[in-house]
Amino acid sequence: DAGVTQSPTHLIKTRGQQVTLRCSPKSGHDTVSWYQQALGQGPQFIFQYYEEEERQRGNFPDRFSGHQFPNYSSELNVNALLLGDSALYLCASSTGQGSYEQYFGPGTRLTVT
Amino acid sequence: AQSVTQPDIHITVSEGASLELRCNYSYGATPYLFWYVQSPGQGLQLLLKYFSGDTLVQGIKGFEAEFKRSQSSFNLRKPSVHWSDAAEYFCAVGAETGANNLFFGTGTRLTVIP
């Protein structure tokens, strides 16, 4: 049973560019959440997707957007990259019925230069 | 609003010694509490969770945690630490409203001395 997978593993971008990160949830899970983990910090909630719609959003600007596909996989898009966007981006999957138990992927390390 | 505080940034213990990592939470009702572990360059692995019931919960890898409502704490313990336990540990609480997202503390880095 495959767990949560994310791609790519690492990414280097330049300020002002746009980036897309991808996530496939654990088998049987239909909800995907995205978190940003800056160096030395705990993960911070960006947003959550369920039934192909954004269900909840954390305190992140509109430069951060996402999408969920019919197969429950998800993308995180970040526009107009800033140096401060450099972080580990974690995807977590869960079931849609109010389950707090989330399974995390290995993350994508984004470096903005 | 919900929040989590992990007072210890870094803890060093000798292999075989006991371990306690502290976690304090702020939450309006009965919280959903979690401990995750993160090895260098890796994602988060769930160690244990508390939803309700018995206040002492057992997790994987020999870890346990005790929920104390009166102290707003959910401390993680292990009786005998192994070198492989060296990692970053995060305490988290479930959101009070809206989606089932988590609020994390800033983490405690555990170093194990041989």
pLDDT digits (tens, 9 = 90+) for A21-54: 999 999 999 999 999 999 989 999 999 999 999 9
Per-residue model confidence (pLDDT) at position B40: 84
B90 in reach of chain A (CB within 8 A): yes
- On chain B, the residues whose CB falls within 8 A of the CB of A48 are 99-101
pLDDT band at A97 (very low <50, low <70, confident <90, very high): low
Band the pLDDT of A91: cuts 50, 70, 90. Answer: very high
* CB nearest B102 (choices: A40, A45, A109): A45
**The pLDDT value given to residue A98:** 62
Q: Do A45 and B107 touch (CB under 8 A)?
A: no
Cα-based angle B3, A43, A74 (whole degrees, multiple of 5): 120
Asked whether residue B31 carries a pLDDT value surpassing 90, the answer given is: no
Would you say B95 and B102 are in contact if contact means Cβ atoms under 8 Å apart?
A: yes
Contact B104 A58 (CB under 8 A): no
Find out whether A70 and A82 touch, Cβ atoms under 8 Å. no
Judging contacts by C-beta atoms under 8 Å, the chain A residues touching residue B44 are: 43, 90, 92, 104
pLDDT value at B27 more than 90: no
Binary contact (A102, B102; C-beta < 8 A): yes
Q: What is the mean pLDDT of residues B95-104?
A: 81
Task: List the single best residue of B34, B44, B60 to mutate versus A (max A Cβ within 10 A).
Answer: B44
B68-72 average pLDDT score: 93
Which residue type, as a one-letter code, is found at position A10? Answer: H
What CA–CA distance (Å, rounded) separates A98 from A34?
A: 16
CB B59 within 8 A of CB B7: no
Percent of chain B scored above 90 by pLDDT? Answer: 78
Q: Is the pLDDT of residue A101 over 70?
A: yes
pLDDT single digits (tens) A1-12:
679 999 999 999
Contact predicate B92/B34, CB 8 Å? yes
pLDDT computed for residue B98 by the predictor: 67
Closest CA to A33 of A45, A42, A41, A21: A45
3-state secondary structure of A30: coil
Work out the minimum CA distance from B26 to partner chain A, whole angstroms: 16
Convert the pLDDT of each residue in A67-88 to its tens digit. 999 999 999 999 999 999 999 9
d(CA B60, CA B58): 7
Confidence of residue B95 (pLDDT cuts 50, 70, 90): confident
Q: What percent of chain B has pLDDT over 70?
A: 98
